[in-house]
């Protein structure tokens, strides 16, 4: 049962990965997941080389995606053959494996919302070169959507939240609206839940009341709205 | 304060304060500095040195929006005025053009920004200046200053604002990893995500200790400085529950449960 639900929801990260390949001029894309317990796993990959990139990093515990998750910073490697551009000292085994697989450029994006860390989106290309400004924007937005999709995947007991995942075009959870993040911290304490759960609760309340997320967040911050365990 | 603006270079003690600010900023920029801490000090310096009523720093989030990364106050209304500039306003114009925008009397600018001006006036602001955070051809954000009187910031003030904006740009972009050159996108996203961690921590502390967001931020800042920790690390520990909210106590007159030195 759980497996069936999980597999169906994994279709969203897969769609996001496929869109990246179609829109961002990359050869392949993959999403990996870090659960709250720190366990890494591969969610999806668009081709065998992408799967290899994910697998290498999972096995070796090193590479751009590992660093992206650890530091919360995108790691953009335009040319694996350019010594100044890569961390040969830091990723020796990954470099060797990636080169063998025909990878020339890797762009790893953390799936983070502040302290919430759910995984990484890895894009690769068989040619060197920068991603470029427009495509970088696209990749960051894809990462935002993938982060939301994975949040729901991780918390698969929250079935009623499924429909809210990653569909709000007018909303930019990763960076805008500081009040959303302040409210997340407050709700986390009010309900004694994880940051991930608090963020989803906030989104669920916005969805169920048909209000913009930021408005609900401001109500929480201004203490006009409190979440209580009885509501849930 | 605002009457002094035209004569600001002669304002007593300003040179001293300016020198001290740059010393503090230079100290902050060495080794492994915290970007949220640095930008927070910068907006505080803007208020202090330029006689601004409020100051904020907005960065291009590379998704088509401007995101607030530092603000001299945490009031929701001020944050909303900054965020409103994703639609229109001096900071948006400044970032788009990569050039300063200075308005001495906001009333006059109503036709230009029909949404922004009423909101700014309602908050008690009557003048505004925005200077770009620029690296060569690329503009990565804007420093936004508000005054409570309808008087333009002097040219000297604008130059100083630009100097502080340049420090912010360096601070955001120069953080290099030990092993590889990094790119603007990496640094920008790092700064933006660090700020989100701090916001989440403020929420945790504000709720747990029943304080407002300013006091919650003060508590994080003080704890980081007292214990020589990075602000973002303290914030992350608070959000993850590795650091009990009672330990990061509100700044003023609070009893410290752990009995540690302040």
Best residue in A38, A65, A115 to probe B by mutation, most B CBs within 10 Å? A115
Strand order through the sheet with A116-125: A40-45, A28-34, A116-125, A105-113, A75-77
Adjacent-strand bridge partners of A122: A30, A108
Calpha distance B252→A127 (Å, rounded): 57
Task: Pick the closest to residue A142 from A104, A113, A109, A106 (CA basis).
Answer: A109
Whether chain B has a CB inside 8 Å of the CB on A112: the answer is: yes
Set of chain B residues whose Cβ sits within 8 Å of the Cβ of A144:
63
Strand order through the sheet with B127-135: B66-71, B54-60, B138-147, B127-135, B101-103
State the pairing for strand pair A28-34/A116-125.
Answer: antiparallel
Write phi, then psi, for A193 (nearest 5 degrees).
Answer: -120, 180
Cα distance from B203 to chain A (closest Cα, Å)?
A: 4
Contact state of A140 with B194 under an 8 Å Cβ cutoff: no
Write phi, then psi, for B135 (nearest 5 degrees).
Answer: -125, 115
Contact state of B86 with A176 under an 8 Å Cβ cutoff: yes
Contact state of B200 with A181 under an 8 Å Cβ cutoff: yes
Question: Do B236 and B201 touch, CB atoms closer than 8 A?
Answer: yes
Residue B1 scores a pLDDT above 80: no
Closest-CA residue of A relative to B198 is A114
Task: Pick the closest to residue A185 from B25, B203, B225 (CA basis).
Answer: B203
Q: For residue B81, what are the contacts with CB-CB under 8 A and spacing of at least 6?
A: B116, B119, B120, B123, B125, B146
Adjacent-strand bridge partners of A52: none
State the pairing for strand pair B127-135/B101-103.
Answer: antiparallel
Task: Pick the closest to residue A216 from A169, A175, A174, A171 (CA basis).
Answer: A171
pLDDT tens figures, B26-78: 776 776 788 899 899 899 999 988 889 999 999 999 988 899 999 998 887 88
Q: Which H helix or E strand runs over B145?
A: strand B138-147
pLDDT tens figures, B159-186: 999 999 998 898 888 765 444 456 788 8
Set of chain B residues whose Cβ sits within 8 Å of the Cβ of A183:
203
Torsion of CA B44, B46, B50, B56, to 10 degrees: -110
Calpha distance A133→B31 (Å, rounded): 29
Contact state of B185 with A188 under an 8 Å Cβ cutoff: no
Contact state of B196 with A75 under an 8 Å Cβ cutoff: no
What structural domains does chain A harbor? 2-158 (3.30.450.40), 169-231 (1.10.10)
Calpha distance B35→B77 (Å, rounded): 24
Round the average pLDDT of chain B to a whole number and report it.
84
Closest CB to B199: pick one of A89, A114, A136: A114
Contact state of B181 with A218 under an 8 Å Cβ cutoff: no
Contact state of A221 with B213 under an 8 Å Cβ cutoff: yes
Set of chain B residues whose Cβ sits within 8 Å of the Cβ of A189:
203-204, 207-208, 245
Whether chain B has a CB inside 8 Å of the CB on A146: the answer is: no
Contact state of B76 with A85 under an 8 Å Cβ cutoff: no
Q: For residue B73, what are the contacts with CB-CB under 8 A and spacing of at least 6?
A: B54, B214
pLDDT tens sequence for chain A (232 residues): 344 444 555 688 999 999 999 999 999 999 999 876 667 789 999 999 999 999 999 888 888 998 898 888 899 888 888 766 555 567 888 988 998 999 999 999 999 999 999 999 999 999 998 888 889 999 999 999 999 888 877 554 444 444 444 444 445 544 468 899 999 999 999 999 999 999 999 999 998 999 989 899 999 999 999 998 776 5
Q: Which H helix or E strand runs over A213?
A: helix A213-221
Task: Pick the closest to residue B185 from A129, A37, A150, A137 (CA basis).
Answer: A137
pLDDT tens figures, B84-114: 888 899 999 999 999 999 999 999 999 999 9
Q: How many CB atoms lie within 10 A of CB A20?
A: 27
Torsion of CA A92, B173, B97, A143, to 10 degrees: 50
Mean pLDDT for B237-243 is 92
Q: For residue A8, what are the contacts with CB-CB under 8 A and spacing of at least 6?
A: none
Return the pLDDT at A78.
87
Whether chain B has a CB inside 8 Å of the CB on A22: the answer is: no
- H helices of chain B, where? 14-29, 35-50, 76-84, 90-97, 116-122, 155-173, 184-209, 213-226, 231-240
**Inter-chain contacts counted by CB atoms under 8 A, chains A and B:** 136
Whether chain A has a CB inside 8 Å of the CB on B176: the answer is: no
Set of chain A residues whose Cβ sits within 8 Å of the Cβ of B240:
115, 195
Whether chain A has a CB inside 8 Å of the CB on B187: the answer is: yes
């Amino acid at each position: 049962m759980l497996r069936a639900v999980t597999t169906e929801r994994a279709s969203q990260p897969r769609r996001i990965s496929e869109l990246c390949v179609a829109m961002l001029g990359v050869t392949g894309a993959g999403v990996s997941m870090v659960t709250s317990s720190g366990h890494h796993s591969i969610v999806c990959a668009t081709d065998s080389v992408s799967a290899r990139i994910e697998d290498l990093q999972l096995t070796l515990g090193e590479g751009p995606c590992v660093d992206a998750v650890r530091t919360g910073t995108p790691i953009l490697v335009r040319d694996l053959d350019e010594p100044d551009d890569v961390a040969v000292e830091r990723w020796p085994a990954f470099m060797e494996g990636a080169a063998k697989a025909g990878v020339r450029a890797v762009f790893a994006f953390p799936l983070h919302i502040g302290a919430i860390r759910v995984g990484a989106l890895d894009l690769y290309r068989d040619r060197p070169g920068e991603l470029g400004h427009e495509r970088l924007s696209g990749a960051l937005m894809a990462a935002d959507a993938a982060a939301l999709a994975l949040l729901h995947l991780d918390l698969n007991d929250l079935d009623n939240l499924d429909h809210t995942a990653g569909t709000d075009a007018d909303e930019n959870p990763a960076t805008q609206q500081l009040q959303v993040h302040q409210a997340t911290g407050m709700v986390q304490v009010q309900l004694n839940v994880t940051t991930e759960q608090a963020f989803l609760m906030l989104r669920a309340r916005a969805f169920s009341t048909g209000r913009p997320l930021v408005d609900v967040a401001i109500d929480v911050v201004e203490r006009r709205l409190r979440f209580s365990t009885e509501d849930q | 304060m605002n009457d002094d603006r035209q004569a600001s270079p002669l304002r007593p003690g300003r040179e001293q304060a300016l020198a001290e600010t740059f010393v503090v900023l230079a100290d902050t920029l060495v080794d492994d500095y915290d970007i949220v801490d640095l930008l927070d000090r910068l907006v505080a310096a803007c208020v202090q040195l330029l006689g601004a009523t409020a100051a904020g720093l907005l960065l291009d989030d590379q998704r088509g929006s401007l995101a607030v990364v530092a603000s001299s106050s945490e009031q929701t209304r001020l944050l909303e005025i900054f965020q409103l500039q994703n639609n229109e306003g001096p900071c948006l114009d400044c970032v788009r053009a990569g050039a300063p925008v200075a308005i001495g009397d906001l009333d006059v600018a109503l036709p230009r920004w029909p949404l922004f001006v009423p909101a700014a006036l309602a908050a008690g602001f009557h003048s505004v200046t925005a200077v770009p955070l620029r690296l060569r051809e690329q503009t990565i954000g804007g420093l936004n200053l508000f005054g409570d009187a309808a008087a333009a910031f002097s040219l000297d003030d604008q130059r100083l604002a630009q100097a502080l904006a340049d420090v912010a740009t360096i601070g955001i972009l120069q953080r290099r990893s030990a092993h590889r050159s990094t790119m603007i996108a990496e640094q920008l996203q790092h700064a933006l995500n660090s700020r989100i961690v701090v916001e989440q921590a403020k929420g945790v502390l504000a709720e747990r200790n029943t304080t407002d967001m300013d006091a919650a931020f003060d508590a994080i800042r003080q704890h980081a400085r007292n214990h020589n920790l990075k602000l973002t690390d303290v914030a992350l520990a608070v959000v993850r529950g590795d650091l009990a909210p009672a330990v990061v106590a509100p700044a003023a007159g609070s009893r410290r449960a752990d009995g540690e030195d302040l």
